[in-house]
Amino acid sequence: MNITLKCFASLARFTPPDAEAYPVSPGDTPGSVAARLGIPAEEIKLVFVNGTHAELSAPLRDGDRLGLFPAVGGG
């Protein structure tokens, strides 16, 4: 199983070289992928799967598009 993975803003440094076809196993979640990449859970503020808001515990399926976002400030 493969997903497309995008880590945005300050999380971009965690993007693996194989992000366009990142391998996942049945039962993997955004949280398990983030942990495998070394992303501290407290740095993740928004999770999107296929363009829809999701939880870190949501199951991933083959072909999913996962986006991980940190808190973003502005002013």
Condensed to tens digits (0 to 9), the pLDDT of residues 32-62 reads 999 999 999 999 999 999 999 999 999 999 9
Q: pLDDT at residue 6 above 80?
A: yes
Mean of per-residue pLDDT scores for the chain = 96
The residues, ordered by sequence, that sit 6+ positions from 48 with a Cβ below 8 Å of its Cβ are 54, 65, 66, 67, 69
pLDDT band for 10, please (50, 70, 90 cuts): very high
Is this structure's pTM higher than 0.85? yes
**Side chain identity at residue 33, one-letter code:** V
Tell which CATH classification among 3.10.20.30, 3.40.50.620, 3.40.630.30, 3.40.640.10 matches the domain 2-69.
3.10.20.30
Q: pLDDT at residue 31 above 80?
A: yes
